[in-house]
Chain A
Amino acid sequence: MKQVLEGSHAVSEAVRLARVQVVSAYPITPQTHIVEAISEFCSDGTMDARFICVESEHSAMAAVIGASNAGVRAFTATSSHGLALMHELLHWASGARLPIVMAEVNRALAPGWNIWTDQTDSLAQRDTGWIQLYCEDGQEVLDTTLEAFRLAEAVNLPVMVVLDAFFLSHTFEPVDVPDQDTVDRFLPPFDPRFRLDTKNPCAFGPITGPDRYMEIRRDIQAAMDRAPEVLAAVEQEFFSLFGRRYGAVDAFLCDDAEVILVVSGTAAATCRQAVGDLRKTGERVGMLKIRLFRPFPATEIRAILPKAPKVAVVDRNVSFGAGGIFAQEVKAALALHKGNTAVYSYIAGLGGRDITTATFQEIYLTTKDTPTPPAESVWVGLAQEERA
């Protein structure tokens, strides 16, 4: 049934439909609406679950790890500093192969306190062994959250569903909320691979010496390697039941493009518009939205980007000393390719600064007019004053 939902509540609805049993969280703007709605579902009886508002995000992740280990479907949500505080346990969740799902609302990090959107928080967790999916709109948020449970439970890795602060978390859109029966067909009850079982006692988290540690890490890598294929299968099933699919990446008008703009998150919606507008004026431009960031969909990217001589990656994030993070990953993915697509890297929209269609037009024109890519990322839309 179509409802007008806030992006945050698209997450909450999906968590209810997924029949999650334990939710643990600590409030942080702009994540709060997600967990507030869940606390209501738990107490009005529409969700058969327990919700605990613990004393910090570190505890929130620890509690869902405990719940998942005890054999139930577990969920948490956070943002920015909350995610940073969880860091230690993010490694634990993946290392323990627990299929936890977390909604992560992209928000900037302090100092310079800022509650607006910026992807550096989630991308800083790229090496923690979590699958990461970036969403463009409210429907995709709901659908991705449902898919996340299937994917997590199939490969035994945690999944982060990432959505932009305010532009998505607090924006109301029509969202098709599926009925429980169909969701139950898509997502059967959780059948954990690793759990506490008094009939078969085992010790979790023991010392693992140099003789075993590497193999265990290699297993995590192998599970990550399987994730794109599993995601494709999950999406196929999702499509047959609900009629929607998103892919690991989404190519828009790329086939004959001279320049492909590479984006993620809500900026993709703006970019579609910009690409459409530019096409009307005869410009040969396309867009590639990257939805799956971990594992990085290098194969899909290598199948699309080399069609164009130039690619402009627009990053709403920065790795200081290296530049835009999606750009680095795209360059690494194309390094194995023999083509000579040039990758241009742009940084825009940090700390919630608007990325508009005009921003994309500027990036497109700059890329078109610059014969070879500069070595460093180009910062777009900076105020003119000089700073050190």
Chain B
Amino acid sequence: MSKSAKGSHHPLDDLLRTDRIPHIWCPGCGIGTAFSACLMAMKASGIDLERTAMVSGIGCSGRGAGYVKLDSYHTTHGRAIPFATGMKLARPELNVVVFSGDGDLFAIGGNHFIHAARRNVDLTVVCVNNLNYGMTGGQVAATTPSGSKTTTTPVGNPEAPFNLPLLAFASGATYVSRWTILHSRELTESIEEGLVKKGFSFIEVLAPCPVNYGRRNRQRPMDTLRAYQEKSIIMNDADPTRLQIDFDRAIILGKFVDTERPTCVESYDRTCRPPMEPADEEKAA
């Protein structure tokens, strides 16, 4: 483990591009906690970090790829999943982690999410859901609760948000969970499970964006955390249709899906590629 020049070090320093710190995240932002949960899970899972890549789209959350000291890819907005899909096709043995925001993964990139889940591409997708587009100044997103104020819904959001675990489940994801940054232990364990599991794993992380979302919705950083504490109910295997986030009543957390089916590459190779001669297989290995 490398220590910084001054001798102080963070337990994740070996996984961070410390030369890029300080990071851009605002005080009170939840992304940092989600990001360190992800890095801790990567370490704890025992996966080969030499064969691990992180892919992000664009957004405050999307900065993740820029801070991790692994092969990492900061792609265009919305396209983290298709970039990751290409990587998996080229190098199926890689562990590919997608770390990105709700806007990136479910607005501009929403189509890719459902198709990658349908194909069961072997990815671990960690979505930081802060209920808005933080990076561009707090506009309404596909996850913004009805009635919430954003810079493009000044009198309240007229639309209904996605229920992300339901979307993932319906699209065919084989692992689906939801946690908040307040539940960092469960969150870390869940990301770890997703990492070691073959297939499309989706972990939704609720995280405050006090600067853009909280400020317009009378939620100071602590208020959001308090809501996570007071309103959350852990209910593993809950019915995905009942997972709509409702800050007034309940936010259901837990692991909702954990099933098996062949991955995208497995099905492809079995269906579309001629069986390899033993000699070729040796060469390929």
Partners in one complex: yes
The contact of B110 among A36, A53, A55, by CB within 8 Å, is A55
The contact of A28 among B110, B136, B142, B155, by CB within 8 Å, is B136
* Cα–Cα, bound, A44→B77 (Å): 31
* Cα–Cα, bound, A53→B110 (Å): 15
Binary contact readout B122-152 vs A (1 if CB under 8 angstroms, 0 otherwise): 0000000000010111011010000000011
Q: Are A36 and B107 in contact (CB under 8 A)?
A: no
Q: Are A36 and B152 in contact (CB under 8 A)?
A: yes
Q: Is A357 an interface residue (CB 8 A)?
A: no
Q: Are B140 and A53 in contact (CB under 8 A)?
A: yes
What B residues does A55 contact at CB under 8 A?
Answer: 107-108, 110, 142
In the complex, how many angstroms separate the beta carbon of B81 from the nearest chain A beta carbon? 14
Q: Are B76 and A36 in contact (CB under 8 A)?
A: no
In the complex, how many angstroms separate the beta carbon of A122 from the nearest chain B beta carbon? 18
What A residues does B74 contact at CB under 8 A?
Answer: 113
Q: Is B11 an interface residue (CB 8 A)?
A: no
Q: Is B154 an interface residue (CB 8 A)?
A: yes
* Cα–Cα, bound, A35→B152 (Å): 7
What A residues does B135 contact at CB under 8 A?
Answer: 29
Q: Are A43 and B110 in contact (CB under 8 A)?
A: no
Q: Are A43 and B154 in contact (CB under 8 A)?
A: yes
For A36, the closest partner residue in chain B by CB is B151
**A34-58 with Cβ < 8 A to chain B:** 35-36, 39-40, 43-44, 51, 53, 55-56
Q: Are A27 and B136 in contact (CB under 8 A)?
A: yes
What A residues does B139 contact at CB under 8 A?
Answer: 27, 32, 36, 53
What A residues does B77 contact at CB under 8 A?
Answer: 81
What A residues does B194 contact at CB under 8 A?
Answer: none
**B67-96 with Cβ < 8 A to chain A:** 74, 76-78
**A81-133 with Cβ < 8 A to chain B:** 81, 110, 113
Q: Is B153 an interface residue (CB 8 A)?
A: yes
Q: Is A344 an interface residue (CB 8 A)?
A: no
* Cα–Cα, bound, A81→B74 (Å): 14
* Cα–Cα, bound, A27→B134 (Å): 11
Q: Are B108 and A32 in contact (CB under 8 A)?
A: no
Q: Is A26 an interface residue (CB 8 A)?
A: yes
What B residues does A44 contact at CB under 8 A?
Answer: 154
For A35, the closest partner residue in chain B by CB is B152
In the complex, how many angstroms separate the beta carbon of A44 from the nearest chain B beta carbon? 8
* Cα–Cα, bound, A36→B149 (Å): 12
The contact of B76 among A27, A43, A81, by CB within 8 Å, is A81
What B residues does A56 contact at CB under 8 A?
Answer: 78, 107-108
For A39, the closest partner residue in chain B by CB is B152
For B142, the closest partner residue in chain A by CB is A55
Q: Which of B58, B154, B155 has most chain A Cβ within 10 Å?
A: B154
Known A43-B155, A55-B110; contact A110-B133, beta-carbon cutoff 8 A = no
Q: Are A29 and B136 in contact (CB under 8 A)?
A: yes
Binary contact readout B5-35 vs A (1 if CB under 8 angstroms, 0 otherwise): 0000000000000000000000000000000
* Cα–Cα, bound, A51→B77 (Å): 22
Binary contact readout A1-37 vs B (1 if CB under 8 angstroms, 0 otherwise): 0000000000000000000000000111100100110
Q: Which residues of A contact B (CB under 8 A)?
A: 26-29, 32, 35-36, 39-40, 43-44, 51, 53, 55-56, 81, 110, 113
Q: Which residues of B contact A (CB under 8 A)?
A: 58, 74, 76-78, 107-108, 110, 133, 135-137, 139-140, 142, 151-155
Q: Which 6 A-B pairs have the closest CB atoms?
A: A56-B108, A55-B107, A39-B152, A27-B139, A27-B136, A43-B155
Of the A-B pairs whose beta carbons lie under 8 Å apart in the complex, a sample of 27, sorted by A's number, is A26-B107, A27-B136, A27-B139, A28-B136, A29-B135, A29-B137, A32-B136, A32-B139, A35-B152, A36-B137, A36-B151, A39-B153, A40-B154, A43-B154, A44-B154, A51-B152, A53-B139, A53-B140, A55-B108, A55-B142, A56-B78, A56-B107, A56-B108, A81-B76, A81-B77, A110-B76, A113-B74
